[in-house]
C-alpha cells in the first residue's frame, strides 16, 4: 500500500479549494446569464452582468479568496475584527455626541456664527427664516374663469377624487 500515502491536506487548503470552486461556478453562471441577455439584444445589461460575474474569478486569481478563507477560520483574525468594530463604534458614538452638543473646534464655532450672521437680512433685527416671519397656510386659490370658455370640471373632479 505504498501508493495510498497522500500528503495530509490542511483544513485551510480544503476551505480555499471549496471557496475557489464556488467563485468559479458563480462566474460561469453569471457569464451564461450575460450570454442569454446579449442574445436578447440587451447588450448594455449583458456587459454589466458580465462585469459583475468576472469579479469572483478575479478575486480568486489575485489571492483574495485564499486570504479570506485563511482569515475566516482564524480566531486571531476574528478577535481583530471585534477590536476594529469596537473602535468604529467608539468613533461614531463620540462623533454623534459631539454633534449633539454642538461642540467643535474654535474655527468651526466661528464659521457657524458667521453663517448665522449671513442668514440675517442686512437691515433686519431677527433672522429672516424664522417660523414667525413665514406666512400661515395660504388659502387655496379659486380657479379663474378663462376667457376662451374652456371647461375644467373633469380635471377638478379628478383632483377632488385624489384629495388635491
**31-80 tens-digit pLDDT:** 999 999 999 999 999 999 999 999 999 988 888 888 887 887 788 888 88
Looking at residue 111, its pLDDT comes to 79
Looking at residue 15, its pLDDT comes to 73
Count CB atoms within 10 A of the CB of residue 105: 8
Enumerate residues 6+ apart whose C-beta is below 8 A from 132: 126
Q: How far apart are the C-alpha atoms of 106 and 113, rounded to whole Å?
A: 11
- pLDDT higher than 60, residue 3: no
Q: Which residue has the cell 450672521?
A: 117
- pLDDT higher than 70, residue 142: no
Looking at residue 76, its pLDDT comes to 85
Count CB atoms within 10 A of the CB of residue 12: 15
**106-125 tens-digit pLDDT:** 677 777 777 777 665 555 55
Tell me the C-alpha to C-alpha distance, in Å, between residue 102 and each of 13, 42, 88, 92, 98: 53, 52, 21, 15, 6
Enumerate residues 6+ apart whose C-beta is below 8 A from 63: none
Q: How far apart are the C-alpha atoms of 35 and 18, rounded to whole Å?
A: 26
Amino acid at each position: 500500500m505504498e501508493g495510498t500515502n497522500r500528503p495530509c491536506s490542511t483544513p485551510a487548503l480544503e476551505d480555499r479549494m471549496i471557496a475557489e470552486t464556488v467563485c468559479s461556478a458563480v462566474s460561469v453562471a453569471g457569464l451564461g446569464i450575460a450570454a442569454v441577455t446579449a442574445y436578447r439584444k440587451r447588450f448594455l445589461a449583458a456587459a454589466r452582468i458580465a462585469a459583475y460575474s468576472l469579479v469572483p474569478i478575479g478575486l480568486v486569481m489575485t489571492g483574495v479568496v485564499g486570504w479570506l478563507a485563511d482569515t475566516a477560520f482564524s480566531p486571531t483574525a476574528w478577535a481583530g475584527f471585534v477590536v476594529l468594530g469596537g473602535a468604529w463604534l467608539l468613533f461614531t458614538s463620540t462623533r454623534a455626541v459631539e454633534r449633539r452638543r454642538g461642540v467643535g473646534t474654535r474655527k468651526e464655532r466661528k464659521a457657524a456664527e458667521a453663517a448665522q450672521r449671513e442668514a440675517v437680512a442686512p437691515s433686519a433685527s431677527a433672522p429672516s427664516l424664522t417660523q414667525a416671519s413665514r406666512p400661515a397656510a395660504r388659502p387655496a386659490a379659486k380657479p379663474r374663469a378663462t376667457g376662451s370658455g374652456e371647461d375644467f370640471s373633469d380635471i377638478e373632479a379628478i383632483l377632488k377624487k385624489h384629495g388635491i
